[in-house]
């Protein structure tokens, strides 16, 4: 009985055989080239970003002040005492309440207005759509100094806003010098400045909602509000998450508005955590300022985590 033997082709690879040395050498060479290209950025990031971040974090556990600049080795390690002193500081606690007020009032208002404008531009407004987009986005790229000049004129006791209120029989307040109305005035400014960015983000999300799904729902008898609430809004969850996180980070760090418009006044009614931190650096209290900045960092991280949990896609 004849037997046949199978001969394995010379080109067939044997399973489990280790890769050739030339392949490993090529990968190492490619990795080395990649790191050489990335090295300039890594160096710049380490020197100007990572180094200061680590230094400021360590500084928050010390009593470092401007008096210790000439002799930094004399700085004492105080552990969590800086954070404890921070939360016993009434001015810092007041700045926390002001920041919370600014965030809680400003973010929902900006989101609602930006979403309404995005829906109008996506569906209702057909003529001059580009002009509306440019008009609403212009404040985003406008200098805060130019914005401050315009808004100071608008918010003066005899400014444009009070003149308009006077037409309907309402006596407007002294917006920027009132402990009651200074923060709402800054919220109006912040909403106006950030509206364009969020509107563009929402508009991009709306244009990705499949039209055939909306048309099918309309054929089944769903009205415009039902289509928006049951189809459009759930499909906008990733876009809402992006816009809300970006807006929250900006609102929690709000600094330019009180710095340019009110200097934190009157009576610290517009003092934010960022402005408080800036003042402590100006006073030479570097350890306390570093601790305040990391408290703000933790607040931003926690709020972002909550938003990711609430708005992330459930697919």
Q: Quote the pLDDT of residue 229.
A: 85
User: Which positions ≥6 away from 239 have C-beta within 8 Å?
Assistant: 201, 202, 204, 205
How far apart are the C-alpha atoms of 63 and 85, rounded to whole Å? 11
CA distances in angstroms from 14 to 11, 25, 56, listed in the order given: 9, 21, 56
User: Which positions ≥6 away from 42 have C-beta within 8 Å?
Assistant: none
Q: Could you read off the pLDDT of 258-314 as tens digits, one per residue? A: 888 888 888 889 999 999 999 988 888 888 889 999 999 999 999 989 988 887 766
Across residues 127-151, what is the average pLDDT?
78
Domains of the chain with CATH codes = 88-311 (1.10.3720.10)
Q: Could you read off the pLDDT of 201-241 as tens digits, one per residue? A: 898 888 888 888 888 888 888 888 888 888 888 888 888 88
How far apart are the C-alpha atoms of 184 and 163, rounded to whole Å? 18
Across residues 4-32, what is the average pLDDT?
64
For the record, the structure tokens of 136 come out as 């609403």
User: Which positions ≥6 away from 166 have C-beta within 8 Å?
Assistant: 172
Instruction: Find tokens 């002799």 and name the residue.
Output: 71
Question: What's the length of the chain?
Answer: 315
How far apart are the C-alpha atoms of 165 and 95, rounded to whole Å? 30
Residue 171, helix vs strand vs coil: coil
How far apart are the C-alpha atoms of 277 and 286, rounded to whole Å? 9
Q: What is the pTM of this model?
A: 0.81
Is the pLDDT at 2 greater than 80? The verdict is no
């Amino acid at each position: 009985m004849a037997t046949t033997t199978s001969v394995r082709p010379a080109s067939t690879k044997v399973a489990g055989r280790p890769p050739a040395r030339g392949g490993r050498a090529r990968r190492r060479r490619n990795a080395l080239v990649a790191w050489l290209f990335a090295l300039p950025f890594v160096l710049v990031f380490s020197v100007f970003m990572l180094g200061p971040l680590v230094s400021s974090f360590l500084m928050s556990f010390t009593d470092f002040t401007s008096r210790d600049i000439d002799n930094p080795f004399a700085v004492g390690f105080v552990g969590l005492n800086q954070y404890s002193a921070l939360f016993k500081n009434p001015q810092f606690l007041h700045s926390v309440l002001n920041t919370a007020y600014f965030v809680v009032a400003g973010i929902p208002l900006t989101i609602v207005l930006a979403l309404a404008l995005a829906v109008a531009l996506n569906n209702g407004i057909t003529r001059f759509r580009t002009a509306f987009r440019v008009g609403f986005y212009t404040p985003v790229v406008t200098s805060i100094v130019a914005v401050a000049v315009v808004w100071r004129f608008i918010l003066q006791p005899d400014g444009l806003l009070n003149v308009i209120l006077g037409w309907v029989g309402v006596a407007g307040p002294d917006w920027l010098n009132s402990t009651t109305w200074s923060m709402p005035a800054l919220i109006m400014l912040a909403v106006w400045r950030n509206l364009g960015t969020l509107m563009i983000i929402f508009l991009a999300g709306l244009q990705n909602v499949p039209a055939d799904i909306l048309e099918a729902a309309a054929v089944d008898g769903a009205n415009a509000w039902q289509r928006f609430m049951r189809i459009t809004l759930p499909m906008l969850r990733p876009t809402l998450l992006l816009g809300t996180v970006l807006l929250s980070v900006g609102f929690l760090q709000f600094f330019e508005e009180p710095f340019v418009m009110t200097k934190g006044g009157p009576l610290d009614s517009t003092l934010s955590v960022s402005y408080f931190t800036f003042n402590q650096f100006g006073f030479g209290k570097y350890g306390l300022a570093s601790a305040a900045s990391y408290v703000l960092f933790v607040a931003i991280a926690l709020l972002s985590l909550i938003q990711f949990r609430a708005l992330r896609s459930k697919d």
